[in-house]
Amino acid sequence: MGTVLAVFKIMPDDMDHFEEIKEAIKSAIPEGAQLQEIREEPIAFGLKALKVGVTMEDTGGILDKVEDALRNVPHVESVNLETTTLI
């Protein structure tokens, strides 16, 4: 086993709650995972997505727990796992 870096792309349901979403993500990461980075990615016409980097041990089920936790953040429309890599 090793350490995995997963990058998620998160789309807000509206831009009015963008900063709230960023703060909620920080506390939503479950035990066993560590938030590494949150950065904004411009999409179009003032829309932005969040790219969230999370590290965790390569153990069964932790990736799903992180993704579920991110999906349950208020005002999140979608969560897509973009990449995973061993580090």
CATH code of residue 59: 3.30.70.60
Residues 6+ apart with CB under 8 A from 71: 79
Could you give the number of structural domains in the chain? 1
Q: pLDDT > 70: what percent of the chain?
A: 100
Give the residue-averaged pLDDT of 7-34.
94
Residue 45's pLDDT is: 87
Judge whether 7 and 70 are in contact, CB under 8 Å. no
Of the pLDDT bands very low, low, confident and very high (cuts 50, 70, 90), residue 58 is confident
Among the residues of 1-87, which ranges form H helices? 18-28, 62-71
* Predicted structure pTM score: 0.93
Question: In the predicted model, what is the mean pLDDT of the chain?
Answer: 94
Domain with 40, as residue range(s), is: 3-86
Q: For the segment 18-28, what is each residue's pLDDT rounded down to a tens digit?
A: 999 999 999 99
